[in-house]
Copies of this chain bind each other. A is one copy, B any other.
Amino acid sequence: MKTVLITGFEPFGGDQLNPSQEIARQLNGRVIAGCRVIGRILPCEFGAANAALRRILRETDPALVIAVGQAGGRSDITPERVAINVDDARIADNAGAQPVDAPVVARGPTAYWSTLPIKAIVATLRAHEIPAAVSQTAGTFVCNHVFYSLMHALRARRGVRGGFIHVPFLPEQAKQGQPSLPQKVMIEAIALAVAVSVRTRRDRREAGGQIH
């Protein structure tokens, strides 16, 4: 049976919760689309997250990887299109580091595309009445750092696909007027994303961009 790796993050930025952590915990051990899901938690630290990810890739040898992170303030489940080779931290990470305009990987390419079927994931979530949209930026904090590191690491793993999906705040995290989704809806969303990704080798061709 093939393995799908789902990673979540520990809470950061002073928060006590991170919905991506619970997603990885809840999906750990499930069988989806004939694959066994392994869920793991990454530290929210530049460098250490990357190192942990590479160790987990060696240990679990997955056929597919979906890294999940929290995007507080977004209203949709957002598969990311592209990872960029820069760390530029607006706040300190959980180890106190705050890199500015440093590369994720020295001499790495400027950017990597996700190899998940991001349009098919969005279409499937919407068909299940779950708010979803493609995102054109994963930011420049630890989420993008892990996303870029993942795609860089997968170059050496032939045929292994991967990418990153951001999820909104939980209702208890949202401040006045900020959007949020129930945890159970997010878990359902990532389970659906796993199933779609396993089954879809060639992504759908339908508009998912943004004007700006």
Q: Count contacts on A: residues with CB < 8 A to the other chain.
A: 65
**Are B129's CB and A212's CB within 8 A?**
no
**Are B212's CB and A138's CB within 8 A?**
yes
Q: Is A90 an interface residue (CB 8 A)?
A: yes
Q: Is A34 an interface residue (CB 8 A)?
A: no
Number of identical monomers bound together in the oligomeric complex: 4
Nearest chain B CB to A200 CB, angstrom units: 14
The CA of A143 and the CA of B177, in the complex, are separated in Å by: 19
The CA of A89 and the CA of B101, in the complex, are separated in Å by: 30
Contact A171:B136 (CB < 8 A) given known A89-B209, A111-B111? no
The CA of A60 and the CA of B66, in the complex, are separated in Å by: 47
**Are B90's CB and A171's CB within 8 A?**
no
Nearest chain B CB to A193 CB, angstrom units: 15
The CA of A91 and the CA of B56, in the complex, are separated in Å by: 41
Segment at the interface with B among A35-43, A47-55, A152-160, A182-190: A182-190
Contact A211:B91 (CB < 8 A) given known A179-B131, A206-B100? yes
Q: Is A14 an interface residue (CB 8 A)?
A: no
**Are A182's CB and B179's CB within 8 A?**
no
Contact A98:B141 (CB < 8 A) given known A129-B170, A172-B126, A174-B131? no
**Are A75's CB and B178's CB within 8 A?**
yes
Q: What mask results when residues 47 to 72 of chain A are scored 1 for a CB within 8 Å of chain B, else 0?
A: 00000000000000000000001111
- 17 residue pairs bridging A and B, Cβ less than 8 Å apart: A13-B211, A75-B179, A75-B180, A81-B84, A84-B111, A90-B176, A90-B207, A91-B211, A100-B209, A101-B119, A109-B110, A129-B171, A131-B179, A133-B177, A140-B210, A179-B179, A181-B181
